[in-house]
């Protein structure tokens, strides 16, 4: 019997961020944007991360109407208390590699089409 698995991690980036910091569990978490070098000198946290778009967010953030590709400024307006985190691609790639390694234990052939 041939079995085909289609795997797509849910809310991948924000789930990893919550795994890295369990204090975020159950809270609205938004991953998106990137802190530009010129923004490093800004002291207000909200000023630093307000540009860019939402890459992904937790289910708790989605309850506020926040979704992928939304402008971060709009997401911030919908939920000012959300935790905004910059994209940490090296970490997500590391976790992705670990996950794909686990999946390879169960299949003869694996076609990876995205990070998750």
Name the residues that contact Mg ion, by CB under 5 A.
8-9, 116
Comparing CB distances to Mg ion, the nearer of 9 and 27 is 9
Comparing CB distances to Mg ion, the nearer of 13 and 76 is 13
The number of helices, as runs of H, and strands, as runs of E, in the chain is: 5, 3
Comparing CB distances to Mg ion, the nearer of 12 and 76 is 12
Give every strand in the sheet of 54-57, ordered side by side: 54-57, 29-32, 83-85
In 3D space, the residue among 24, 20, 11, 2 whose CA is nearest the CA of residue 82 turns out to be: 24
Task: Give Rg (Cα) of the chain.
Answer: 16
CA distance 84 to 113: 27
Smallest separation (angstroms) from Mg ion to the CB of 11: 7
Smallest separation (angstroms) from Mg ion to the CB of 95: 12
Comparing CB distances to Mg ion, the nearer of 8 and 38 is 8
Smallest separation (angstroms) from Mg ion to the CB of 42: 31
Smallest separation (angstroms) from Mg ion to the CB of 32: 15
């Amino acid at each position: 019997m041939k079995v085909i698995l289609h795997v797509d991690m849910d809310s991948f980036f924000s789930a990893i961020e919550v795994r890295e910091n369990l204090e975020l569990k159950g809270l609205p978490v938004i991953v998106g944007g990137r802190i530009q070098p010129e923004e490093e000198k800004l002291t207000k946290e909200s000023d630093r991360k307000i540009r860019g778009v939402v890459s992904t967010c937790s289910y708790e953030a989605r309850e506020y109407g926040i979704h992928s590709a939304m402008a971060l400024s709009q997401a911030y307006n919908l939920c000012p208390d959300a935790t905004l985190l910059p994209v940490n691609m090296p970490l997500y790639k590391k976790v992705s590699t670990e996950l794909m390694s686990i999946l390879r234990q169960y299949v003869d052939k694996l076609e990876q089409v995205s990070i998750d």
